[in-house]
Amino acid sequence: MEYTVAKLSRLAGVSTRTLRYYDEIGILKPARINSSGYRIYGRNEVDRLQQIMFYRELGVSLEAIKDILTSDKFDMATALKSHHEQLLAKREQIYLYCYSCSCYNINNQL
């Protein structure tokens, strides 16, 4: 499936301006530009955007993300496994925060 900037921005929950900026800095190039001048993104670019968004969620700079994704050592399967493990750890951390808040509320009648 192919996506224009507008469609991909809606799908991913990012602004069209962000996608154009990612193209400008070379972190996410479109698969092609059609005859009307529209940027067209394919499955590989959607996968790459997912990686970018995950690293951004972790607070990694765009420059560092670009270095990671363009490294000869980058492996998508390994990255996804690592992301999954990090998300599970984050979920556990959030669970513990929620549990501690609920215990505090019960004990202090908030």
- Going by pLDDT thresholds of 50, 70 and 90, the confidence category of residue 70 is confident
Sorted by sequence, the CB contacts under 8 Å of residue 16 that are 6+ apart come out as: 5, 6, 9
Q: Cα–Cα distance between 77 and 107 in angstroms, integer?
A: 45
Residue 30, class by beta-carbon neighbours within 10 Å (0-12 exposed, 13-18 middle, 19+ buried)? Answer: buried
Residue 108 pLDDT > 80, yes or no? no
Lowest average pLDDT, out of 3-12, 14-23, 89-98, 99-108, goes to 99-108
Domain boundaries, the chain: 1-73, 75-110
Q: Are 8 and 41 in contact (CB under 8 A)?
A: yes
Give the distance between the most distant pair of CA atoms in the chain: 65
Supply the pTM of this predicted model.
0.72
Nearest to 79 by CA among 101, 53, 110: 53
DSSP string, 72-105: TT--HHHHHHHHHHHHHHHHHHHHHHHHHHHHHH
Decide the pairing of beta strands 39-41 and 32-33. Answer: antiparallel
For 1-73, CATH number out of 3.40.50.1820, 3.30.450.30, 1.10.1660.10, 1.20.5.510 equals 1.10.1660.10
Residue with the bigger pLDDT between 75 and 50: it is 50
